[in-house]
Structure 1
Amino acid sequence: MNKPIRAVSIFCMFLFLALMLNVSYVQFWRAKDLNTDPKNARVAAAAFSRERGLILVGDDAVAKSEPVDDRYKYLRVYPQGQLYAPVTGYLQLGSQTGIERSQNEVLSGEDPLLFVNRLVDLARGDTNKGGNVLLTLDAAAQQAAFRSLRDTVGPDGEGAVVAIQPKTGRILAMVSFPTYDPNQLASHDRETREKAYDRLDSDPHEPLVNRTIQTRLFPGSTFKIVTAAAALEDGLYDVGDDVPSGATWQAPGTTGSQNVIDNEGRSGCSPTEVSFETAMAQSCNTAFAKMAVEVGPEKLREQAEAFGFNSDYLLDLGPQAQSVFPRDVVDVVDGEQQEPRELDDAETARSGFGQFSVQATPLQMAMVVSAIANRGTLMRPHLVQEVQSAAFDVLETAEPEELRSAISPQTAADLTELLVATVDDGTAFPAAIPDVSVAGKTGTAQRGVEGKPPYGWFVSFAPAEDAEVAVAVMIQEAPGKDISGGQLGGPIAKAVMEAVLNK
């Protein structure tokens, strides 16, 4: 063989090897990633050409595929679109969100749990159908949360509600407002869905954001529960003790009136010492600021993290924002970042009542009261209860999963006592339910922006002695109304608790 022919042969051999390597890489190593990539047009088109599984709440389908007469065989339909949109998300060509994304393998029929069903369909010559996903949501609780939140904040308002079953971690309600109609985004008409997405994406109220897990704000006085838990766990105080308080307190190591901590006019907090019950029921900032400094930033952080701060915990819906208790502070001097340091006393004091750099999602604060309601044990929150075949045969059921012991049973009992008193005789009275023992806490968090109204929070659980539901309410915007956690959030929490308890 002469030299030119040999060179061409070697070159062709290398091209062949490169082609084989590329094919092997794409079809084997990258196959799963490419098949699950929502931007894969071929896979997306195939998803619209077969019957996708149902997303169920109880016996009702909140997402289903209906046959249509166009280039695709099925159209994804959301019968109660706005009510469940933050959870279901939407399915469109090249994009999936919410449960549609996290449970895509089940809904599309590709999950290994559906392997036998695929074989049966193949043997019968039937089209492969997707499996169904049964959610943990309670329809009555979801509707109560949506209606009461919408009516409270108004059409231009913003907020979120989460309800959890404390003993199992089942999420009973997950509402984010404002919401959107996923049917417009699922349209087969490109112009229709692009216009709908552009309108929603540019809306300053951010309807596409699931505020229950993606928005974190200062939790304000609802965080006093965490501070109280840390103090009780550390043995600094017992539930029957008096605790230091006072009308005002200069934040340690600071000067100037802007660094004075006060109780926003609550005179019951003014004595030098008040009972632990009074401190919680009247939401005394000075008491919990001093308590936080006594506990110290390390133990306060440890307690917050025991409840779920600084971690991810929801596995079947995303993305989620981590709730934050700061691990360190980085100062900037003359434009240069300094070495990270621990919180000082003034920062710890403000952290003790949910300000400074402490931030939480509504789901996180629901988890805090859920752990207390469950005698100190924190369960993993979850939204998917069952995976079913297209024929509704149960293939997998979610089992309750303990995340950790957040506090001792005794501390949980002590906190419950304090929170019941806060509803019976304190600031959380709007959540009171006749003949039911309710535990609750208000929160009104300053934004740190002059002239801007605060955020409103409310957390609760009932019945206090054997809780069936724990709730967190967050009011982000309520134009034309004075925002306070108790007055606005309390009735919403009450409506959700009653919806669960009255079934």
Structure 2
Amino acid sequence: MNAPLRRVGVVVMVLFGLLFANLNWVQFQKADEYRNSDYNGRVQVADYKSKRGNIEAGGTALATSKETNGKLKFQRNYPGGAKYAHVLGYKPVNLAETGIERVENDFLAGTSDNLIGDRFKDMFTGDDTGGGNVLLTLSKRAQDVAYDQLGNNQVGAKKGAVIAVDPRTGAVQALVSMPSFDPNPLASHDGAEATAAFNKLEKDPAEPLKNRALSETLPPGSTFKIVVAAAALENGISKTTQIPAGPSWTPPTSGSPIRNADPSICPGRQVTLMEAVTKSCNTGFAQLGVRLGAETLKEKARQFGFEQEDLTVGQLGEGGLRTEASRTGDMQNPDGSTDPAALAQSSIGQNNVTMTPLEGAMIAGAVANNGSQMRPYLVRQLLAPDRTTSYYTAKARELRQPVNAQVATDLREMMVSVVENGTGRKAAINGYTVGGKTGTAQSAPDRPDHGWFIGFALDKSGTPVSAVCVMLEQAGSGGSAEAARIAGQVMRAAIADPGGR
């Protein structure tokens, strides 16, 4: 063979090699991307050919699929509208799924490995059974009350969140974020309508798409004093120990005094730890935090769940709705030494301390549950399309034990005193023992304060039945008292709904 033909042959072989490599790359590396592309119309048609499974709670369907006469055979429908939006998310045609629709997409669509037997059976019967059903832990009654009370709060707050959990299991009883949104337009088969609805929500400065219950981090104010009190109880201080207080205290190195919310709070030079929690004594906890030290407080906060970056809320295994980490922030000078002023502010839930509503509910739940903090979850069960087979049933799992049973008992007594004798009276429920802690947190010099409440309810036998956190963003005066009132209403609803426990 002469040289020119040899060169042509080599070029042809190289081109065939490149073509072969490209085909393999497309087949194995890019297949999923092309298959799931929004521009792949055939995949869209196939995706909507079968009926998607329901998402349900307490026997009520929260997400269903209805048959259409269009090119896409089934359309997703959300009967509850905005009430469940931040839990369910939505299943759009040209956008990515969100919420439970995303984390359980394969099972709902019927493509999960769990459902291979159902698909195999359909090959012989000719049936198209569709996707599996996802059953959630939510109490419909508690969710309804949380949504209504949050949206109609008595202080005019426009943003906020409520989350309630069963302290014994971690099952989420209610999860609401305000403002919310109607997911139905986002699931429209009219691409222009769905895109317009999404763009409007995304550009809204109130951020209605944001799940504040899981991802909003704000200074928790005095609710953080429960963490500080736990550290104190583990370091030689009892609930009857006298600690320094007074109407005003200026930390070392700081020219700014720390004062109580009202001159009538803790005016004496000393108060017991019990009184400091009950009356929410800023001067007492600021001095107590400096006495305990930054590392002690940071470590106790970590033991309660602060700084955890990988927590999700869905099934009890991997995956679920993403959560933000709560933080204790810096309490140091530029040279690395402890800054007493920053530490004092951090000890009353200010400075750089930030917390999610989920973390607040988990703190209250651990105190109620003898110090055992359970892993929160939303998915109770996965059922086959014909509902005869369960492919997953949640089994409660401990996440951590931030305090021992004795410390938990002391914290419970102090939190009960807050509701019976202090700032949390509006959370009381007849026939139940309710404990809690209010919090008022500064947001900015020209903005109203945030209002917080974390708490729990115990039945007559002392068994914890609900733990809750309510956050009212920029609620102003009376915000924490209103948060306590809403919390009491939500826990009362969870108690009255056996299906939610």
TM-score range, shorter chain: over 0.9
User: 1:497 maps to which residue?
Assistant: 491
User: 1:157 maps to which residue?
Assistant: 158
Q: How far apart in 2 are the matches of 1:135 and 1:59?
A: 10
Q: How far apart in 2 are the matches of 1:348 and 1:23?
A: 61
Evaluate the alpha carbon distance shift between residue 114 and residue 33 of structure 1 in structure 2; reply closer, same or farther with a 3 A threshold.
farther
Evaluate the alpha carbon distance shift between residue 186 and residue 473 of structure 1 in structure 2; reply closer, same or farther with a 3 A threshold.
same
- 1:124 to 2:118 alignment: no
Number of equivalences: 487
Question: What percentage of aligned pairs have identical amino acids?
Answer: 39
CA contact (8 A) 1:215 1:361 kept: yes
What are structure 2's unaligned runs of at least 5 residues? 315-319
Shift of 1:281: 0.7
SS of residue in 1 equivalent to 2:322: coil
- 1:105 to 2:102 alignment: no
CA contact (8 A) 2:266 2:281 kept: yes
Evaluate the alpha carbon distance shift between residue 195 and residue 155 of structure 1 in structure 2; reply closer, same or farther with a 3 A threshold.
farther
Moved more, 126-135 or 384-393: 126-135
Evaluate the alpha carbon distance shift between residue 147 and residue 301 of structure 1 in structure 2; reply closer, same or farther with a 3 A threshold.
same
User: 2:18 maps to which residue?
Assistant: 18
User: 2:47 maps to which residue?
Assistant: 47
- 1:308 to 2:302 alignment: no
Q: How far apart in 2 are the matches of 1:114 and 1:359?
A: 42
- 1:297 to 2:300 alignment: no
- 1:68 to 2:68 alignment: yes
SS of residue in 1 equivalent to 2:188: coil
User: 2:270 maps to which residue?
Assistant: 273
Q: How far apart in 2 are the matches of 1:143 and 1:121?
A: 39
User: 2:452 maps to which residue?
Assistant: 457
CA contact (8 A) 1:137 1:383 kept: yes
Moved more, 32-41 or 145-154: 32-41
Evaluate the alpha carbon distance shift between residue 124 and residue 450 of structure 1 in structure 2; reply closer, same or farther with a 3 A threshold.
same
Shift of 1:181: 0.6
Deviation readout 1:236-277 (Å, 9 max, x if unpaired):
30122122211111122112xxx2100021423121110111
What's the TM-score, normalizing by structure 2? 0.92
CA contact (8 A) 1:422 1:428 kept: yes
User: 2:390 maps to which residue?
Assistant: 394
CA contact (8 A) 2:331 2:346 kept: no
SS of residue in 2 equivalent to 1:357: coil
Q: How far apart in 1 are the matches of 2:145 and 2:347?
A: 32
- 1:261 to 2:255 alignment: no
SS of residue in 1 equivalent to 2:261: coil
Evaluate the alpha carbon distance shift between residue 398 and residue 310 of structure 1 in structure 2; reply closer, same or farther with a 3 A threshold.
same
CA contact (8 A) 2:34 2:40 kept: yes
CA contact (8 A) 2:332 2:339 kept: no
CA contact (8 A) 2:44 2:72 kept: no
Q: How far apart in 1 are the matches of 2:384 and 2:96?
A: 24
Q: How far apart in 2 are the matches of 1:360 and 1:275?
A: 27
CA contact (8 A) 1:376 1:412 kept: yes
SS of residue in 1 equivalent to 2:79: coil
Q: How far apart in 2 are the matches of 1:419 and 1:212?
A: 22
Deviation readout 1:114-143 (Å, 9 max, x if unpaired):
111111122222235111111111111101
What are structure 1's unaligned runs of at least 5 residues? 332-338
User: 1:189 maps to which residue?
Assistant: 190
Q: How far apart in 1 are the matches of 2:469 and 2:102?
A: 26
Q: How far apart in 1 are the matches of 2:344 and 2:110?
A: 53
Evaluate the alpha carbon distance shift between residue 11 and residue 142 of structure 1 in structure 2; reply closer, same or farther with a 3 A threshold.
same
Shift of 1:404: 1.2
Evaluate the alpha carbon distance shift between residue 309 and residue 127 of structure 1 in structure 2; reply closer, same or farther with a 3 A threshold.
same
- 1:325 to 2:328 alignment: yes
User: 2:375 maps to which residue?
Assistant: 380
Q: How far apart in 1 are the matches of 2:273 and 2:455?
A: 19
Shift of 1:18: 2.9
Shift of 1:197: 1.3
Q: How far apart in 2 are the matches of 1:262 and 1:416?
A: 26
Deviation readout 1:369-402 (Å, 9 max, x if unpaired):
1111111111111111111111112111121111
What's the TM-score, normalizing by structure 1? 0.92
